[in-house]
Chain A
Amino acid sequence: NAGVTQTPKFQVLKTGQSMTLQCAQDMNHEYMSWYRQDPGMGLRLIHYSVGAGITDQGEVPNGYNVSRSTTEDFPLRLLSAAPSQTSVYFCASGPRNEQFFGPGTRLTVL
């Protein structure tokens, strides 16, 4: 199993650009989540999904969209990038309580 994979590893955007961060898991997990990690703030939940077709907002959802058309994939879309979205983004999946994290995407918005 590849576990949780994320692409790209690094990305630089200009303010106002849009992009999609990809996340895929091959463990048939129901639950998938997106977090952002900022210095001194731990990990904060952006959006999550409890199964295909079901998504909901976390703590910091503004400026991000998600969809879950399949069990395996959970892309995160930045609609109009802002410098405040400069962060490291982690996708996670799990059967319920336990979550397995991907390697992360480091995003810089200029």
Chain B
Amino acid sequence: GENVEQHPSTLSVQEGDSAVIKCTYSDSASNYFPWYKQELGKGPQLIIDIRSNVGEKKDQRIAVTLNKTAKHFSLHITETQPEDSAVYFCAAIRGVRGYNKLIFGAGTRLAVHP
């Protein structure tokens, strides 16, 4: 079945540095790739997404890139701030019997140190 691998599992950066999280997926039919941020004690929150007909998307300090040929996509956070510290999950959509099922990566714990 569909599998999403996410790296690294933990990432520590200094405030102001950039952070990059990478994911690969196995199902070439996947066409939607969201990223979620989960703060301690809360549910995941969608922060950015990208569709298969787009190679890159930016939203202020956050950007996502997609390489469909290589089946990988990445999250880039620039000018990191302490409030960016959280667990980040990538996901890929696989359609199953009329339902677009999200397959999640295992998560990356990002720590931004002042």
Residues in chain A within 8 A of chain B (CB atoms): 4, 31, 33, 40-45, 48, 50, 56, 58, 90, 92, 96-104
Contacts and interface: CB of A to CB of B under 8 A. Distances in A.
A58 B34 contact: no
Secondary structure dominating the interface of A:
strand
A98 B6 CA distance: 20
A43 B89 contact: yes
B32 A97 contact: yes
Interface string B87-113: 001000100011111101111000000
A48 B101 contact: yes
A45 B98 contact: no
Interface of B: 4, 6, 9, 32, 34, 36, 41-46, 49, 89, 93, 97-102, 104-107
Contacts of A44: 104
Given A31-B99, A48-B99, A42 B46 contact: no
Contact of A98 (B9, B46, B89): B46
Nearest to A38: B106
Contacts of B89: 42-43
Given A42-B89, A56-B97, A99 B45 contact: no
A96 B4 CA distance: 20
Given A40-B106, A42-B89, A42-B105, A100 B46 contact: yes
A100 B47 CA distance: 11
B86 to A, nearest CB: 14
Contacts of B34: 97-98
Given A97-B32, A98-B34, A103-B43, A56 B99 contact: yes
A99 B105 contact: no
Contacts of A96: 100
A22 to B, nearest CB: 15
A99 B106 contact: no
